[in-house]
Amino acid sequence: MSKILNEVLIANRGYVAGFDKGDLPMPPGRHFAILTCMDARLDPAKYAGLSEGDAHVIRNAGGRASDDAIRSLVISYKLLGTREWFVIHHTDCGMETFTDDIMRDLLSSSLKTASVDASGWHDCCDGPGSAEGKYIDWLTIKDQAQSVLEDVVRIKSHPLVPSDIPVYGYIYDVKSGSLIEVPEATAAGK
């Protein structure tokens, strides 16, 4: 058993010992959803004041409005009654450190974990790689405010999203913990 697996299972046993949330309803109690990045420095429960059962939190690399994220938001609304959505990206995001072409090149040469230094991303090892990465839009980020705006606009203009659901746009500052509104995104999300 790996060290991490063992730590997770021990933590779960402790959680189960005091578990009292078995009666929470499936729909989120506060009727909203957050689309945010998977970055481990972000804790949506803390920065948004959530308790278990309060909201849906959808996470992916960059907090981007991918097809799968929109699928989750539509289910969140249509079947579980959320009425407001947040798109929250963050400062110092890893999605700003590469482009689609860089990711495709790295994957084509090796599937091992890459490294980065002042001169850019590098593969540590020789192959095998895969050309499958060229078929994926990696949704990299050049400008956080612009990407939040793009994602809010994409969500709001999606034919499966009702026009009366507001979508708010924010950037989480990893140095201060603050949520900083992207006014153009929130305006587009009205």
Q: Where are the domains of the chain?
A: 3-90+140-188, 99-137
- Whether the per-residue pLDDT at 111 is higher than 90: the answer is yes
3-state DSSP assignment of residue 53: coil
Query: Could you confirm whether domain 3-90+140-188 is CATH 3.40.50.300?
Result: no
Closest listed residue to residue 55, CA positions, set 90, 28, 87: 28
Secondary element (H or E) of residue 154: helix 144-157
Distance CA(127)–CA(72), nearest Å, equals 35
Q: In the predicted model, what is the mean pLDDT of residues 151-168?
A: 98
Q: In the predicted model, what is the mean pLDDT of residues 81-97?
A: 98
> What is the pLDDT of the chain when averaged over all its residues?
96
Model's pTM, two decimal places?
0.94
